[in-house]
Amino acid sequence: MRVLIVEDEPTIATQLNDALCAAGYAVDQAGNGVDAHFQGSDENQPYDAIVLDLGLPQMDGLTILKKWRAAGRSMPVLILTARDNWHEKVAGIDAGADDYLTKPFHMEELLARLRALIRRAGGHASAELVCGRIVLDTRNSRVSVGGLTVSLTSHEYRVLDYLMHHPDQVVSRSDLIDHIYAQDFDRDSNTVEVFIARLRKKLPEGAIETLRGSGYRLVAA
């Protein structure tokens, strides 16, 4: 899953980046409102969620959010606000935010709220995603098959995570590339096939189908 962090305070931005990367997300960052608006508006660089600070230089977060929603951008947005600015929370929700968190915050709570937003966007109610014998626990980035833990590399996990959020759906190679790599990563479409091949060796036979010319589909094998 790919997340955009919009935060102008360097220390907080670094902490968010490190925590989200450790949790298995592909992370991009923006330190001002203009860059954030541009990155979040690019349909060719889709985000599964955005963490948006409202107090930004050049363009404030509330204006950015309104522009995104007016343009039809529907990705989940978690806004960060100052502790006592209750009116910002109300304005943020009214502008199209999906959730909010006040500063200072506990990183575990932010990660939990982010997981919930992404799950709900995909129509999933539980923190555990299940497809046949495959279970992916989003809380601890753990995967099991038939109750036995499966060891995955970070990129294998990202591929499976995206497929588990979209079961029985055809996912193109370009979709996978867009959602498992950060913006500044050297992307190679051939590596997706490598990750798929490795996953097939670790998952039940037939769990990942290849639809020639279209992409891949995760099914309950």
CB 7 within 8 A of CB 13: yes
* Rg of the chain on CA atoms, in Å: 18
22 and 53 assigned to the same domain: yes
Please, which residues have CB within 8 angstroms of residue 62's CB and are 6 or more apart in sequence?
54, 88, 91, 92, 95
The whole-number pLDDT of residue 216 equals 96
The whole-number pLDDT of residue 125 equals 85
How many domains does the chain divide into? 2
Ramachandran angles phi, psi of 131, nearest 5°: -140, 100
Q: How distant is the alpha carbon of residue 110 from its chain centre?
A: 13
93 and 173 assigned to the same domain: no
Q: Strand 208-211 to strand 215-218: parallel, antiparallel, or no bridges (unpaired)?
A: antiparallel
The whole-number pLDDT of residue 197 equals 95
Summarised one tens digit per residue, pLDDT across range 119-168 is 999 888 889 999 999 999 999 999 999 999 999 999 999 999 999 999 99
The whole-number pLDDT of residue 181 equals 85
70 and 138 assigned to the same domain: no
Rounded-to-integer distance, Cα 45 and Cα 175, Å: 10
Q: What are the helix (H) ranges across the chain?
A: 10-22, 33-41, 61-70, 86-95, 107-121, 154-165, 173-180, 189-202
113 and 16 assigned to the same domain: yes
The whole-number pLDDT of residue 187 equals 64
34 and 63 assigned to the same domain: yes
Rounded-to-integer distance, Cα 92 and Cα 97, Å: 5
Residue ending a domain, among 121, 140, 157, is 121
The whole-number pLDDT of residue 185 equals 64
Which tokens go with 192?
């997706």
90 and 134 assigned to the same domain: no
195: CATH:
1.10.10.10
The whole-number pLDDT of residue 37 equals 97
Q: What is the three-class DSSP state of 156?
A: helix
CB 49 within 8 A of CB 5: no
**Per-residue model confidence as pLDDT tens for the chain (221 residues):** 999 999 999 999 999 999 999 999 999 999 999 999 999 998 878 899 999 999 999 999 999 999 999 999 999 999 998 867 778 888 889 999 999 999 899 999 999 999 999 999 988 888 999 999 999 999 999 999 999 999 999 999 999 999 999 999 999 998 999 898 887 666 666 788 999 999 999 999 999 999 988 999 999 97
Provide the domain limits for residue 46: 2-121
33: CATH:
3.40.50.2300
As a 3-state breakdown, the chain gives helix, strand, coil percent values, each rounded to 5, of 40, 25, 35
What's the angle, vertex CA 129, arms to CA 6 and CA 50, rounded to 5? 10
135 and 69 assigned to the same domain: no
The whole-number pLDDT of residue 184 equals 66
65 and 168 assigned to the same domain: no
Residue ending a domain, among 121, 146, 172, is 121
Summarised one tens digit per residue, pLDDT across range 178-188 is 898 887 666 66
The whole-number pLDDT of residue 183 equals 74
CB 101 within 8 A of CB 109: yes
